[in-house]
Amino acid sequence: MKGNNAYLLAAYAITWIIHITYLATIVSRYSRLKREIESLRKSG
């Protein structure tokens, strides 16, 4: 049954990789938008 611990670890790790990857896309898009807003303010 010790080999099954690898499956358990894999399931938990992949869960958080999926969530963190999605969060990273939100953060990245937010940073890009902030830069766009700054450039709009400067040009406006």
Partner 1 sequence: MKRLFPILGVVTAVLLIYALYMALIGAPTEQTMGNVQRIFYYHVPSAWTAFILFFVNFGASIVYLVRRKAAADIVALVSAEVGVVFCTVVLVTGPIWARPVWGIWWTWDMRLTSTLVLWLIYVSYLFLRRFSSSGETPTLAAALAVLGALCVPFVYFSIWFFRTQHPQPVMGGGGSIDPRMLHVLLLNWLAFSCFAFLVCWSRYRLETLQRDVDQAHALESLMAPRGSAR
CB of 9 to partner 1, least distance (A): 10
Residue 24, phi then psi, degrees to nearest 5: -65, -35
Site string for partner 1, 1-30 (x = CB under 8 A): x-xxx-xx-xxx-xx--xx--xx--x--xx
CA–CA distance, 27 with 20 (Å, rounded to integer): 10
First to last CA, the chain: 65
Residues that bind partner 1 (CB under 8 A): 1, 3-5, 7-8, 10-12, 14-15, 18-19, 22-23, 26, 29-30, 33, 36-37, 40, 43-44
